[in-house]
Amino acid sequence: MSKIDERAARLFVSIVETEEARIAGAILSDYHATSAAPLIGAGLLVPDGPVPAATSLTDHDDEPVSLEWSPEHQAYGYFSPAAGWVTVEEKRLQVYRIDPLALLQRLAARLDLPVKARPAERISGTLWEIGDVRLPGRGGRVPVWFARRLTDRDVWRQVVAYLGGRPPADFRVVVTTSSTPGLAEAELSRHQIIALDDLVNHSAGLIIEPTYLAAQLKTGPVSRAADPVRHAAGFRHFWVGDREFKFSGDKRRQIVEYLFNAWENGVESVSTEVMFADLEFKSSSRMRDIFKDHEDWRDLIEATGGSCRLRVRELLEQQRARAD
């Protein structure tokens, strides 16, 4: 399966979230050539017909110009008073659209679905049912769906009406390329909406990791009481009891993962210098610089006297005290 890096994945998600889910070839060629290639190669972006217009490449300072077919040049182009006939490359005329089926198949590539499961479109161009997925650590299968453009009010109302009118037996997961903060999930009882970005390993791109999905679920047999310290999405999310910490940036996530592995192996604290060396950080690296602008990292990590550790014990004790 084609490798799609984080930059290409973000480009594709931005296209998915547009109303028409299309992008001009000229934009891809001028601004996203490197990222577009693997998306086209994977069949996620497919040609959707040429357009007989383009931006002037010579004397019109980015003004749009109408194109005409030249039998002599066997190509589309336009006449410029300054440069004469100007041929426009075919790839610049092409419009590309997303292929929803290719996207859904890629998303589900590592999910344990029934053999006969096939993605099914439920709201045209908006909502698809992927199927019932078996996940690590869970007894029953979990219904997983996919939706786009949920931040659009009209789209949101359509999705709420459709899913609300067909309630799940237990609960249902909706994976989305949309931004999830601000979505009124309370309008959809027994549903959990999860951002795709929290479910993919960016070294592969646009493929849902089953372990990430299982760790994100708020309902069912995987409980925080039974597993008080857990993580998801490559340590983008980290929980101690009911306290959640979010980490962006590779270095931050690598540090949290390193300290978690130490904690899980019974190591109370580690040398900061040794940790930086193991992670191949610069010797001049400092924790306070790496976590600059992260408002609550010190609640999770204690870094003093050249060593650091996770404050798991203190956080769980605080939560037990509040519960009492």
76, 57 contact by CB (below 8 A)? no
* Residue 61 CB neighbour total at 10 angstroms: 7
Backbone angles phi, psi at 14, to 5 degrees: -65, -35
The whole-number pLDDT of residue 215 equals 83
The three-class DSSP label of residue 165 is: coil
The whole-number pLDDT of residue 158 equals 96
Identify the CA nearest to 217 among candidates 141, 318, 165: 141
The whole-number pLDDT of residue 221 equals 38
The whole-number pLDDT of residue 110 equals 94
Segment 106-114 mean pLDDT: 95
Q: Which residue has the higher pLDDT, 133 or 221?
A: 133
The whole-number pLDDT of residue 69 equals 63
The residues, ordered by sequence, that sit 6+ positions from 124 with a Cβ below 8 Å of its Cβ are none
Long-range contacts made by residues 254-262, C-beta under 8 angstroms, separation at least 24?
254/279, 255/279, 255/287, 255/290, 255/301, 256/231, 256/300, 256/301, 256/310, 257/231, 259/301, 259/308, 259/309, 259/310, 260/229, 260/231, 260/235, 260/310, 262/309, 262/310
Segment 290-315 mean pLDDT: 93
> With pLDDT > 70 as the criterion, what percentage of the chain qualifies?
84
Cα gap 287→275, rounded to integer Å: 11
| Pairing, β 68-70 against β 75-80 | antiparallel
Identify the CA nearest to 102 among candidates 11, 206, 209, 6: 206
Angle (CA) 218 315 212, round 5°: 30
The whole-number pLDDT of residue 223 equals 37
- How deeply is 89 buried, as exposed, middle or buried, from its count of CB atoms within 10 A (0-12, 13-18, 19+)? middle
pLDDT band with cut points at 50, 70 and 90 for residue 323: confident
> With pLDDT > 90 as the criterion, what percentage of the chain qualifies?
48
Domain boundaries, the chain: 6-97, 100-219, 238-323
Q: Which residue has the higher pLDDT, 222 or 254?
A: 254
pLDDT band with cut points at 50, 70 and 90 for residue 119: very high
Q: Is the pLDDT of residue 62 over 80?
A: no
Segment 229-235 mean pLDDT: 78
Q: Is the pLDDT of residue 176 over 60?
A: yes
Q: Where are the beta strands (DSSP E) in the chain?
A: 22-24, 45-50, 53-55, 64-66, 68-70, 75-80, 84-87, 94-98, 120-123, 127-133, 142-147, 172-176, 191-195, 229-232, 237-240, 243-246, 270-271, 301-304, 307-310
Q: What is the token pair recorded at 295?
A: 């408002």
The whole-number pLDDT of residue 225 equals 40
Q: Is the pLDDT of residue 68 over 70?
A: no
Cα gap 261→293, rounded to integer Å: 25
Q: Is the pLDDT of residue 231 over 50?
A: yes
The whole-number pLDDT of residue 50 equals 60
Q: Which residue has the higher pLDDT, 158 or 66?
A: 158
Q: Is the pLDDT of residue 48 over 60?
A: yes
Segment 84-113 mean pLDDT: 86
pTM of the model: 0.64
The three-class DSSP label of residue 143 is: strand
pLDDT band with cut points at 50, 70 and 90 for residue 45: very high
Q: Is the pLDDT of residue 307 over 80?
A: yes
The whole-number pLDDT of residue 93 equals 72
252, 294 contact by CB (below 8 A)? yes
